[in-house]
A and B are shown apart, each in its own frame.
Chain A
Amino acid sequence: MTCLASMFDDGHLLEVFLLSNWNTRVVVLGVTALGVAGGVVGAFMLLRRRALLGDALSHATLPGIAMAFLLASTLGLSAKSHGVLLLGALVAGLLGVVTVQWLTRSARMSEDAALGIVLSTFFGAGAALLGLAQQETSASAAGLEAFIYGKTASMLMRDAALIGATSVITIGVCIACFKELRLVCFDPDYARGRGLRTTAYDFLLMALVMAIVVVGLQAVGLVLVIAILVIPAAAARFWTHSTGRMLLIAGAIGGAGGWIGTILSAIAPGLPAGAMVVLTLGGFFIVSLLFGRRQGLARRMLRHRRRALLMDRDHALRAIWECLEHTGEPDCLAGQIGFRWGWATLKTVDRLQRAGLLVVEPAAGEERIAFTEEGQREAAAVVRRHRLWEHYLMRRADFDEHHVDRGADELEHLLPTGLLEQLEKELDAETLAMLPSPHALRPDHAGGAHG
């Protein structure tokens, strides 16, 4: 509790949000820039289906870092120099990617196996070398572990500047080569046929990924750095069907994740920034998955629900209409209507009554149902559409009269109105207000087949 209290004490929170602390400002801006660039580059990486290669690449950097450290200390150089360590990471990452390519192309291994082998072997080698390094010079080697899980606290102005510069360059390249990268991701064979050097663009893409991974090592660590490439891009896909907008949204999500994650970790110093950034991105992903405009689950469920309601409404209207047509009465008892009287039906009738399509009056223990004027019109339209389809299916698709009711039912609710006009033309029924049912109406079953 004291920890929590101290967290919200003495304007610390305000200080963090306003970025008035120099160190916080450096870290937040650096990680935000990394997030934006990671989102943009990650979008292309995902579209080219290279996400796992990016993961293998990031894990493969570890032996390079450890090796660079060992070499530098043997040669008497400043072993903690970041330049040397990042160079080591770059070389090892490149070696990892080349090994994967070689295994899949020349040794004809499946890509997932090759990726698994390279990822684990390189990481294992890195862990072993790290152990060696720590044995020899325990004090200074401790900083190396920061590369595994990230340690923003050790981030300096020049680190943030490196991230910033890398972000600007990678985003610039993505914009400049947008149409070529998109073509290579979409249809590599065609691109090659048209004379585009797809291998060069694939290499360029891997170089961009590598750049993000290497500068991201310090911020989020090599285990989690893949997240800033994959998650924003995957989340963005739920919001748009356009490549350009996907890049834009992925960049925005990545940047927001970097910003919020680092601030969260600055508020509670016990929480590592890398983990907080990834968790924030995970949150964005879940929101996108559920509410995404294009493919979000919640939207899909909502649309499905709306469709189901529409179908219930059509079924109820048609059942009542056909019952009245059959009896010739102006109204009918609830029990006369063909469909099963379940909870859903009662609710539908209730809904239609509230919508002003039905009038329900209690009469001698049972309810009498009649159409309002508007309800009559709506129901006639629904029945007419259903029968048009029935006639069409019997004439053109060899449906017999026992199955045509259900066949038409599967079609009629979801189709656009333009199609209905074509249907009328096809059947010469443009002027017909109503058609006879092509099959015997069985009031006890009509409309009930679908529940």
Chain B
Amino acid sequence: MSDPGTTRPPGSEHSPDSPLSIHAMTVAYERRPVLWDIDLDIPRGALVGIVGPNGAGKSTLIKAALDLVPKLSGHVQVFGRPYTVQRERVAYVPQRESVDWEFPVTVLDVVCMGLYHTLGLFRGVNRRIRKRAMEALAEVGLEELAHRQIAQLSGGQQQRTFLARALVQEADLHLMDEPFAGVDAATEETIVSLLRTLQSRGCTTIAVHHDLQTVPDYFDHVLLLNTRVVAFGRTDEVFTPANLEATYGGKLTLLDQASQALAGQTRGVPR
């Protein structure tokens, strides 16, 4: 990279080796902004929790970073380059509810999906892939359930299956959408120690989180989000009552009303 300034708009001060850097990103559903002008640089090796009220755009932030939802404006860079050329370095753990767990696949099948990119088109899953998948399953303590159909797992075990699918990819950046939602205490412990292990390997992890009480224990950085970035930084610095009040306290009701009015005006008009 010769001059980072040429690839970005003038005035941006994003570090080129930030695992995830978001610049002036706005995302809207049906013209109603869900994320508005987000600017963010995640430091390398950070363990980031994203918190905020329902509808604050937490999941959308992750999906927009992965190009899963269209951005109205702004851009996202992963380790200084567009996501489309950095896919292998990013592992995504979707919300558990996003798939049908009655689907006829085994735990091992699901974990192998994390390595499909190493196989060409028309090539089936081979022994090398299965071996690596088993190693990832061992890391989350599920190797004995490898050949179970996924519907026969508990919620926590299903979540660990998704984590193993991300682990097997050996990525540097992990984006997790509510990894702690609806899991048992044992799984919660497993996930926490997994997050620590990833951090000790130098990986960066960003996870949407719901339980405010555990934020200081689990995450060293926190992103307080409510359509806008309310605060981002080290947990001990920004996870303050004042910031929480600003995130959850409904200070943005006027903005909310305005965007609802906007959505009302355009409702029914085909795009």
Instruction: Pick from A180, A182, A241, A242: contact of B121, CB below 8 A.
Output: A180
Q: Find out whether the CB atom of A186 lies under 8 angstroms from the CB atom of B68.
A: no
Which residue of the partner chain B has the closest CB to A247?
A: B104
Please tell me which stretch of A88-96, A151-159, A191-199 contacts chain B, meaning at least 4 of its Cβ atoms lie within 8 angstroms of it. Answer: A191-199
Query: Which residues of B lie under 8 Å from residue A194 when comparing CB positions?
Result: 87, 92, 116-117
Evaluate whether A242 and B94 lie within 8 angstroms (CB atoms) in the complex, with A183-B116, A186-B99, A195-B117 already known: no
Interface centre among A47, A107, A186 (most CB of B within 10 A): A186
**Chain B residue with the shortest CB-CB distance to A192:** B68
Is B109 interfacial (CB-CB < 8 Å)? yes
Looking at A18-26, A118-126, A171-179, A338-346, the stretch in contact with chain B turns out to be: A171-179
Rounded to whole angstroms, the CA-CA distance of A192 and B119 in the bound complex is: 16
Chain A positions 186-240 with a Cβ under 8 Å from a chain B Cβ: 186-187, 189-190, 192-196, 237, 240
Q: What residues on A are CB-neighbors of B67 within 8 Å?
A: 192-193
Q: Do residues B122 and A177 form an inter-chain contact, with CB atoms below 8 A? A: yes
Contact assessment for B117 and A47 in the assembled complex, using a CB-CB cutoff below 8 Å:
no
Give the docked Cα–Cα distance between A183 and B92 (Å): 14
Instruction: Given A190-B113, A192-B68, A242-B104, answer yes or no on A107-B119 (Cβ-Cβ < 8 Å).
Output: no
**A246 CB–B CB distance under 8 Å:** yes
B66/A193 in contact, CB under 8 A: yes
Whether the pair A179, B68 counts as a contact (CB closer than 8 A) is no
For B94, give its contact among A182, A189, A237, A240 (CB under 8 Å). Answer: A189
Instruction: Provide the main secondary structure of the chain A interface.
Output: helix
Contacts of A353 in B (CB 8 A): none
Looking at chain B's contact residues, the main secondary structure is loop
Known: A178-B124, A242-B106, A243-B105. A190 touches B94 (CB 8 A): yes
Q: Does B2 contact A (CB under 8 A)?
A: no
Q: How far is the CA of A436 from the CA of B139 in the complex (A)?
A: 42
Interface flag for A106 (CB, 8 Å): yes
Decide: B84 and A195 in contact? CB cutoff 8 A: yes
Partner pick for B105 among A106, A180, A182, A190, CB 8 A cutoff: A182
A272 to B100, CA, bound (A): 38
Distance between B174 CB and nearest chain A CB, rounded to angstroms: 12
Contact A179 B98 (CB under 8 A): no
Q: Which of A178, A180, A194 has the most CB of B within 10 A?
A: A194
Report how far A193 CA is from B94 CA in the complex, Å. 10
Residues of A within 8 A of B (CB-CB), count: 26
With the chains together, A47 CA to B104 CA distance in Å? 9
CB distance from A294 to the nearest CB of B (A): 8
**A289 CB, min distance to chain B CBs, angstroms:** 16
Q: 1/0 per position for B114-139, CB-CB distance to A under 8 A?
A: 00110101101100000000000000
**Interface readout for B249-260 with A: 1 if CB under 8 Å, 0 if not?**
000000000000
C-alpha gap A110/B230 in the complex (Å): 36
Quick check: B68 and A241 within 8 Å, CB to CB?
no
- Asked if A185 CB lies within 8 Å of chain B CBs, one says yes
Is the Cβ of B104 less than 8 Å from the Cβ of A179? Answer: no
B100 contact set on A, CB distance < 8 A: 186
| Chain A nearest CB, measured from B28 CB (Å) | 15
Residues of A within 8 A of B9 (CB): none
Q: Kindly report which residue of chain B lies nearest to residue A242, judged by CB atoms.
A: B104
Residues from chain B with a CB closer than 8 A to the CB of A243 are 103-105, 109
CA distance A187 to B177 in the complex (A): 14
For this complex, 22 residue pairs linking A to B, each with C-beta atoms less than 8 Å apart, are: A106-B270, A106-B271, A177-B121, A179-B124, A180-B116, A182-B105, A183-B113, A183-B116, A186-B105, A187-B94, A189-B63, A189-B94, A190-B92, A190-B113, A193-B67, A193-B68, A194-B92, A194-B117, A237-B104, A243-B103, A243-B104, A243-B109
Given A178-B124, A179-B113, A195-B87, 7 additional A-B pairs, CB 8 A: A47-B104, A180-B121, A190-B94, A193-B68, A241-B105, A241-B151, A242-B106
Q: Which A residues are within 8 Å of any B CB, using their own CB?
A: 47, 106-107, 176-180, 182-183, 185-187, 189-190, 192-196, 237, 240-243, 246
Report, nearest first, the 4 A-B pairs whose CB atoms are least far apart.
Answer: A241-B149, A193-B66, A176-B122, A193-B92
Chain B interface residues (CB < 8 Å from chain A): 63, 66-68, 84, 87, 92, 94, 98-100, 103-106, 109-110, 113, 116-117, 119, 121-122, 124-125, 149, 151, 270-271
